Amino acid sequence: MWQNLIDTLDKLGATYDNLANLGEKKKAALINVDMENFPALLDDEKSIVAKIYKLEQNRRELLKDLSITSAKDFYKSAPEPVEEKLFALHERLVENVQRALKIRDDNQVLAQCALDSVQMKLNKIGGAMVEPTYSGKGAGIVTHQKNFDFMA
């Protein structure tokens, strides 16, 4: 059972590392507005997240089977060489999860900026103009010129 936990934590740490590396690629794609390769990155991310979900379920089952509420307390009850390995893998997992979460947050901001950029370009193409007044919600009032006659 201990070896199963070690293997699961090792796979989980490696998978989170893969997720963080993929997040870096997404970040680069968002910065470069590389939307051709972006769907493939999203597909890769979906498969990695599914793998993480499966590994997390396995990890929880292993911990539940051993009836321990705290992972670190649980690791302390392991034999000496296994305990050190478990603590090291646990720390790696914590670092990789934090890294993946930070990259996810950064990518959310970059994705919103990319959407704003696209909206700005579409407004420019459509001849949108911002009025010199603000709406009741504090946002600018945007009007659109009619550039196309659909009745023609």
| Concatenated DSSP letters of 6-25 | HHHHHHHHHHHHHHHHHHHH
User: CATH for 2-126?
Assistant: 1.20.58.300
* Residue ranges covered by each domain of the chain: 2-126
Is the pLDDT at 142 greater than 80? The verdict is no
Is the pLDDT at 137 greater than 90? The verdict is no
Q: How confident is the model at residue 73 (pLDDT cuts 50, 70, 90)?
A: confident
Choose the most confident range, by mean pLDDT, from 45-49, 115-119, 135-139.
45-49
pLDDT digits 0-9 by tens, 95-134: 999 999 999 999 999 999 888 888 877 777 777 676 666 6
Q: How confident is the model at residue 135 (pLDDT cuts 50, 70, 90)?
A: low
% residues pLDDT > 70 (the chain):
80
- Looking from the CA of 123 toward its CB, the CA atoms found within 13 Å total 12
